[in-house]
Structure 1
Amino acid sequence: MPYAKSKGARLYFEETGSGRPIVFVHEFGADLREWEQQVRWFSREYRCIRFNARGYPPSDVPESDDLYGYEHSAGDILAVMDELGIERAHIVGLSMGAYATLQFGLRHPGRALSLVAAGVGSGAPREVRVEFKAHSEALAQRFLNEGSPAIAREMGLAATRVQLLTKDPRGWQAFVEHLSEHSAVGSAYTLRRYQALRPSLFDFEAEFAACALPTLLVVGDEDDPCLETNLFLKRTMRTAQLWVVPGTGHAVNLEEPAAFNAGVQGFLSAVDRGCWRTRDPRAVGGGALPVARASASADK
């Protein structure tokens, strides 16, 4: 089995196709299998790489808290790229993987061709930070006490995931089955160290404002915990565009695979052809009507 060595863990990866590379980075509740519909599509023209995060077998499941956390997330992407001899790649992430994708863009901008961050932002708004941390820690303990199978179905019925059940019951069942197979220890440590302790994306406002990488932000309009953060990122990143997918929850790539693939393909094509543009400064801070000028009489 192919592995990339990162700090404190070996990461299992798979690659399919040839061409410019795309690295897919999965969310907390998923693993590399949830990118299957993207790999089948993009591998026709791209070299697709996906890997399991630390704590997700067959990647290693370290038993030390210190070997988990957002600090490792960008480094793990880099380790997979280095193992495969990839100098630059498009990075596509969902949720926890989208957080890692954005961190990679900030820490290693010279190694990224572009960033796609889908469903990013849970727990980022400052008013929910304390609650999000407590919820993550409580769920971590439940994974240890009850095991992954007991948690999987409950997570699948969460407010931002029931959309998948409604649209694609078979896809939802596969998601739940995959989640039930996850390591309870790996999930618990990921929740405690990565989810609960990662800084808010709002803390990186200056860094995002300086980021020059082409970026596509994707969020479902029913993914309430992520909407505010995506608006913040759109307003802050001058090279970002925001795509809000109607009638869609958290796992955009699973709920709307055809639309997701088409939207991301259009973005990657624009980047590869050099057609992705920064935001026109005239579009910032104004409205749909011209600014009113003082009347001639008022000038006298």
Structure 2
Amino acid sequence: MPYAPSDGARIWYEETGAGRPIVFVHEFGGDLRSWEQQVRQFSRDYRCIRFNARGYPPSDVPEADSAYGQAHAADDIAAVLDALAIERAHIVGLSMGAFATLHFGLRHPQRATALVAAGVGSGAPREQRAAFAEQSRAAAQRFLDEGSAAVAPEMGMSATRIQLRNKDPLGWAEAIAQLAEHSALGSALTLRNYQALRPSLYDLEAELAACAIPTLLIVGDEDEPCLDANLFLKRTMRSANLLMLPGTGHAVNLEEPAAFNDAVARFLASVERGSWRPRDPRAVVGGASLPMGRAAVR
């Protein structure tokens, strides 16, 4: 099995295809298998790399709280690139993996050619931070007390995941079965030290505003906890485009794989051919949206 050595853990990865590299970074409830529908398409033209985060076997499950956190998650992406001798790559993440993707762009900007952050923002608004942290700690204890197999079905019936069950019952069942196999200890430590303690995106406004990496934000319009954060990111990052998928919840790559893959493919193609451009400052409405005179249209 191929492992990338990182700080305090070995990260297990897979690669498929050849060409420009794309790294896929999974969400809390998933693992590298969550990207199957993306790898099947993109590996026709790209070198696709996916890995299991620390705490998700066959990657190591460190037992120390200090071995988990936002910085570790971002740096583990760099460790995988180092293990494969890849200098720069497109980075595509979902939810927890999207947080890691954005932080990778901030911590290692010279190594990211493009960022795709899907379903990012749970618990990010400052007024939600305390409640989100408490919910994360409570969920961590349930993983320890009851095990992953007991917690997985309930997670799958949550307000932002029921959409997948309604659209694709077989895909939903597969995702729940995979979550049920996860390490209860790894899940608990991830919740307690990564999810509960990660900084709010709103506290990173200056850093995000300065980010020049081409970025695509994708969110489902029924992913209520992430809507405001995605609007904040779009307004903050001149480098970001925002796509909202209708009638869609949190796991956008599983719910709408064709739309997700098409949007990511078109975005990456625009970056690669040099036609992607940051937001024109004239597109920012600072009050009146209609011409108020000759000076307004210059």
Measured in 2, the distance between the counterparts of 1:122 and 1:48 equals 27
Task: State the AA in 2 paired with 1:143.
Answer: F
Deviations 1:114-164 (A, max 9, x none): 000000000000111110000000000000000000000000000000000
Per-residue Cα deviation, 1:198-246 (whole angstroms, up to 9, x for no partner): 0000111000111000000000000000000000000010110000000
Amino acid at match of 2:245: V
Alignment of 1:61-140 (within 5 A): 61-140=61-140
Distance 2:142 2:67 in 1: 21
Q: Percent identity?
A: 72
- Displacement of 1:84 after TM fit? 0.2
Structure 1: stretches of 5+ with no match in the other structure: 295-300
- Paired amino acid for 1:291: M
In 2, distance between residues paired with 1:122 and 1:5? Answer: 29
Distance 1:293 1:139 in 2: 58
2:153 is the counterpart of 1:153: yes
Q: 1:252, CA displacement in angstroms?
A: 0.2
Deviation, structure 1 residue 293: 7.9
1:217 is aligned to: 217
Structure 2: distance between partners of 1:291 and 1:230: 30
Alignment of 1:224-235 (within 5 A): 224-235=224-235
Q: SS state of the match for residue 144, structure 2? A: helix
Q: Secondary structure at the match of 2:268?
A: helix
- After superposition, residues 278-293 of structure 1 pair within 5 angstroms as 278-286=278-286, 288-291=289-292
User: What amino acid maps onto 1:127 in structure 2?
Assistant: E
Q: Cα offset for 1:46? A: 0.3
User: Residue 274 of structure 1 corresponds to which residue in structure 2?
Assistant: 274
Aligned mates of 1:71, 1:208 — CA distance in 2 = 16
In 2, distance between residues paired with 1:279 and 1:263?
18
> Whose Rg is larger?
1
Query: What amino acid maps onto 2:21 in structure 1?
Result: P
- 1:80 is aligned with what amino acid? V
- Cα deviation, 1:251-284, whole Å, max 9, x if unaligned, reads 0000000000000000000000011101111111
- Amino acid aligned to 2:267: F
Provide the secondary structure at the position in 2 that maps to 1:212. coil
CA positional deviation for 1:291: 2.9
One-letter identity of the residue aligned with 1:226: C
CA distance in 2, matches of 1:34, 1:131: 28
CA distance in 1, matches of 2:230, 2:291: 27
Moved more, 280-289 or 89-98: 280-289
Q: Which residue number corresponds to residue 42 of structure 1?
A: 42
* TM-score, normalisation: structure 2: 0.97
TM-score (norm 1): 0.97
Aligned-partner Cα distance in 1 for 2:292–2:107: 40
How far off is 1:289 after superposition? 1.6
- Give 1:125-274 correspondences, 5 Å limit: 125-274=125-274
- Structure 2 residues without counterparts, runs of 5 or longer: none
Structure 2 equivalent of residue 298 of structure 1 = none
Q: What amino acid does structure 2 have at the position aligned with 1:232?
A: F
Distance 1:173 1:111 in 2: 36
